[in-house]
Structure formats: C-alpha cells, structure tokens
Amino acid sequence: MAAEEALTLPAEELTQLARSAGFDLIGFARAEPIPRQVLAEWIEAGHHADMDWLAQRLDARLDVAQLLPGAKTVVALACNYWRSDDASPVARYARGRDYHLTLRDRLRALRRALRSRFPGVADYGSVDTNPVMEKVWAARAGLGFVGKNACFITPEFGSWVLLATLILDAQVDRYAEGPTTDVCGRCQLCLTACPTGALVAERVVDARRCLSYQTIENEGPAPAALRPAYQQIAFGCDVCQDVCPLNVTPVLAGERFSPRPVAGLSVQQLAALTPDAYAQLTPGTPLARAGYDGLRRNAAYALGASKDQAARSLLERLVGDPSPLVADAARWALEQLG
C-alpha cells in the first residue's frame, strides 16, 4: 500500500460493505502474531489425527504478515447458517450448498467493493482452507468467544456460524478489545454429551475421537470402539451444539443455506445410494468430501449402531460391495443386529 501508506480505513464503512456482501457479523482485530502454543501444543499432543496439513505452514498460521506482507488488520466475518431442527443424519452446516462456495462468493463481492472504494489497499481473503486461524481472529475481533465445545459462539447466533477472514495492509479507526464475555460458566453439557469423549478438556477436541473427523476426514475404517456412537450420524456431528443452552433460540438464516434433497435422506437411504444417485445429489455440497464409499461406510455404521433390523437385507447386500471399506462396515453392522 505504498501510495496510501498512512490511510486509516473507516470501520463503519467497511462494516456496511461487508453487510452488503452478505455477512452477518463483522469485527476488526490488529494483525498481531498468535502465540505459538495456541496451536503447537494441540498438534504435538496428536489431537489433529492425520490432518497433517494443520501442521504445515505453521508460521504463516500464527503470523498473517507471512500471508500478506505489511498486514495491519484482520477483518473477521461470520454468517449464520441455521435453517431448521429437522432430523437428519447430516450436520446442519453440510445440508445445503457447500459453505465454502457461498462464503467465497460473499468474500469476493466484499473484496471487489473494497478495491473499488480503496484501490491502494492490498488484501488476502480466506474461507477455511487457507492457513488462517479463523476462530482466534473472530475472538480477537469481538464477534464472540470459543466455548467449552471448542465451537465459536456468538451472542447473536450461538455457534451456528461459519467464519471467514479478510487481511488488510491498512489500519482501521476502530478495533475490538478482544472476545466477548465467556458465558459458559459452570455448564458441562457439551463435555458430557459428546458420544465419543472427543472433548478431552474444555475447548480441546481430540480429532481422533471426534465423529466429525471420522465421518469426513478419515478415509479408512473407523475405530471399532467409536462405531456404536454413529447412531443416526452419517456426516458430521452436531451433538455438542444441540445440547448447548446458548443455541436454544436460533435465528433463521437466508435461503442460501437451505437444505438440499440429500439432507432429507435417512441413513438407510444413504447406505443404499447408487453411484448415479450419489453423483446427482452430492455435487456442490460438503458431502462430496466424504466420497461415495465414505458416505456409505458411515451410513452402514449408523445402521449397525442403531440395530436397525429393517436394514438387514441391505447390509447383507453391502457385504459383497466392491468397496472393502463399505463391505467391512456392513459386516460390522450385521454383527450388531445379531
């Protein structure tokens, strides 16, 4: 930002630009480095499972100036995504269009508006997949706080939010003083409700035990000890959010987050998906990340965990599936049926 080095941007105007782009919450934090122990200790404990990419570019994750030289401000952005309490084996965030696409669209619109209004300001945008610690920046920017379930909790929308960031090489005229008040108090509901004990301490998730990791990121068989917890769970897990008292009055999100037909399928229907049906239902949704075999593996575990006798014939057929992953899950499920 050589031509406008001394420029200080008006936070209120940036907030309006972000709201016009579709973001519900906007905050500003100084682009100061994050202490190394915030992430390094979690990784050193092995809590990241085999998500080795989290350990890569660690220095950049901790210092956004390595992503944008001269970084001075991190704009934290959040979108409410809650649509309904309808039962589904799919976590709420994954029931509609892939949120990466939706938030990138909004971030792209914000960056266009920013560059038009302040052409000398450089920026770096991120939605989840870049080496940016979104929850840390959202907390520093005053959007909320990290709860005991390790989810980011906002006063307005509870934890039903998706995060993005925009790094700027210019200052703004107003910064937050830090996270909002932590109101978890003595509540332990999320810690005791987690079906696999993945919350090993307050605000600490061991991904190796987390059903969100197991149903999405794990490409192999799930550990046998965790499979009984899959009841009615095929992609992601909302248990620690569902029990949170701070989520009892959700706010309806916009149509962009409306569920797609695949979210209305039962675990038995997911397990029975044909390649053609999968190819028709999942593109453009987060479920595509699990893959055809991964999604059916998860559904087979769920059928076994719930001891669904009506699924016996389906599981018997899946034992002969070409995918060893699905066949192994079906064999385990049949053993649970007795």
**Residue 277 maps to a domain:** no
Options 50, 63, 105, 128, the catalytic residue:
128
The whole domain housing 37 covers 1-258
- Position 294 in a domain: no
Sequence-ordered list of residues with C-beta below 8 angstroms from that of 102, at least 6 positions apart, any chain: 79, 256, 257
pLDDT tens-place values along the chain, 338 residues long: 443 456 899 999 999 999 999 999 999 999 999 999 989 999 999 999 999 888 888 999 999 999 999 999 999 999 999 999 999 999 999 999 999 999 999 999 999 999 999 999 999 999 988 999 999 999 999 999 999 999 999 999 999 999 999 999 999 999 999 999 999 999 999 999 999 999 999 999 999 999 999 999 999 999 999 999 999 999 999 999 999 999 999 999 999 999 999 999 999 999 999 999 999 999 999 999 999 999 999 999 999 999 999 999 999 999 999 999 999 999 999 999 99
- Residue 57: inside a domain, yes or no? yes
Instruction: Evaluate whether residue 300 is within a structural domain.
Output: no
Place of tokens 């909302």: 238
Tell me the C-alpha distance between 78 and 62, whole Å.
Answer: 20
Q: Is residue 222 part of a domain?
A: yes
pLDDT tens, residue by residue, 180-228: 999 999 999 999 999 999 999 999 999 999 999 999 999 999 999 999 9
Measured CA to CA, the distance from residue 243 to residue 183 in angstroms comes to: 15
pTM: 0.95
CA–CA gap between residue 183 and residue 154 (Å, rounded):
10
Number of domains in the chain: 1
Q: Residue 251 domain-assigned?
A: yes
In a domain? residue 312: no
Q: What is the CA radius of gyration of the chain?
A: 21
Q: Which two tokens stand for residue 216?
A: 């999405």
Instruction: Note if 206 is an active site residue.
Output: no
User: Is 267 contained in some domain?
Assistant: no
